[in-house]
Structure 1
């Protein structure tokens, strides 16, 4: 690797980070997983309600109340093992590819030098967003199997309760939607059992069911996530510079001089934008990944699996644009503090260790 200059995750050129540091720093997101998971479980259950039946949950609060009454507090962390275990691989991929993509883009499109030769110019926002999109695309291939198992576990108790029987009209039409999941919450399968079931039914490729949705969400969302953070961080730096402030070392103000409130505010906004901008892709993905559990494997075998676009059309036709954004408010609510924490910790580690 040597001592050459390269761009770290926030666009400021400092000394090159080793891959080990990328993995270590990227893994700070593990801290947020336990906090996020009850919100995520509620979101997935709202997104994946079968279209051929009445809504089981009328909204986030109704889902939370029903989950608590029927399954108890532990249910809110059902499936948490997968995102926790996968967090290091997910974030290592994201930040390593992000850094390397910025290095490549910096060579292809060298930014104009600053007046201060000791403070090289950072990449502009479009190039930062491009690097983030590349990183998001790479990360999607790591995320899809993790989210597939997680989503299946999160809805397993709904299927197990047998509370979503086929409507009489569908039964009369001969459409089989019998639930074949376990008969009680206690028997809901764990992550290993669910993984084995997917491999047995669909082979290794089956782990990437929903990849299109994850790819779209992570590519566009990644660009929005990093781009929004960098845009706001640059605004805060400029505002301080316009007031005549200097860094602690006497040089120009940089991102390292921003306060915790500024860094966390930028991170929180970035988290909300990430989730809102391409939320329908996530909704379609969740529907695809949980269809077997909520409709029954026998019914799924008797019907060809729908494409990503077809599921999107079906959701829109049945529930309108609101259906494609089911659970979005709750997701944005949990994303704000989580993203604020991620960017704050990452930025502080970057300032301390380079």
Structure 2
């Protein structure tokens, strides 16, 4: 489920990270999304769009397992210890959003090291012409900063995942429910979603996830690639945010948003469709 989504969206993610990571004190390497796509292909071919793919592919199973398992366990906890309702009863939307936000917080601690390695590999060739393997990049990080260095950018990941995942699950549940309500106004919970409904709900959830806290992702990407682009500069979350605002204003926090929303549609449609099919098979 997660591996399929990552493979679909990864070229878009590479472009997003390269756009987000451009230094403010140097001439821009990429003027916009199209320029970045053209230059990446010209200098690196199709391989350039997939640099660092192995890292999120390895982590995709753990990430999605963590998200969906925590989401379901949190729902069970709320039903049993907060609302005292049967486990087969649907939670109100506000509690589903809380469950989604909590699952994002838990997943953020898995995601930060994965994304740190990924982001460094995605921009390394552009600025240093190096082509590190995942193992080599892990060794570099450990040598420079030790174990704690793998969670550099955790604040950005946590904010993005907490708010983003709450929006992700919340919008999916809301749209899925209302699409079923159009077919069965009296008992939407008694029917299953059709394939088009699952795909629409999943795609919409992906859009809402990225719209909700995209600035946190921009700051995180800038932080995690700073050691390659500006080796002498090691800014924290607040300092990085202030620097982005100083040079680019509010629009600087939304660099790469367009291509990110584009990638979100197919990948999240596939993720939620696969999730629902697996849930029917194993429950």
Same fold by TM-score, threshold 0.5 exceeded?
A: yes
Q: Which residue of 2 aligns with 1:20?
A: none
Relative to its length, the structure with more helix (as a share) is 2
- In the TM superposition, what whole-angstrom CA distance separates every residue of 1:16-44 from its partner, at most 9, and x where no partner exists? xxxxxxxxxxxx11112111111000000
1:132 to 85, 97, 100: 100
Q: Offset at 1:257?
A: 2.2
Q: 2: CA distance between counterparts of 1:232 and 1:104? A: 24
Q: Which residue of 2 aligns with 1:154?
A: 122
| Residue 281 of structure 2 corresponds to residue 346 of structure 1 | no
Q: Offset at 1:256?
A: 5.4
Q: Which residue of 2 aligns with 1:275?
A: 210
| Residue 78 of structure 2 corresponds to residue 105 of structure 1 | yes
Q: Offset at 1:317?
A: 1.3
From the CA coordinates, give the structure whose radius of gyration is larger: 1
Q: 2: CA distance between counterparts of 1:63 and 1:232? A: 34
Q: Which residue of 2 aligns with 1:329?
A: 258
Q: 1: CA distance between counterparts of 2:218 and 2:240? A: 10
Matches within 5 A, 1:310-329: 310-329=239-258
Unaligned runs of 5+ in 2: none
Contact preservation (8 Å) 1:256, 1:347 = no
Q: State the 4+ residue runs in structure 1 displaced beyond 4 angstroms.
A: none
1:59 to 5, 21, 32: 32
Give the TM-score, by structure 1 length.
0.77
Q: Offset at 1:223?
A: 0.3
What is the Cα-based RMSD across aligned positions, in Å?
A: 1.6
Unaligned runs of 5+ in 1: 1-27, 114-118, 162-181, 183-187, 245-251
Q: Which residue of 2 aligns with 1:204?
A: 147
Matches within 5 A, 1:154-303: 154-161=122-129, 182=130, 188-242=131-185, 252-254=187-189, 257-295=192-230, 297=231, 299-300=232-233
Give the TM-score, by structure 2 length.
0.95
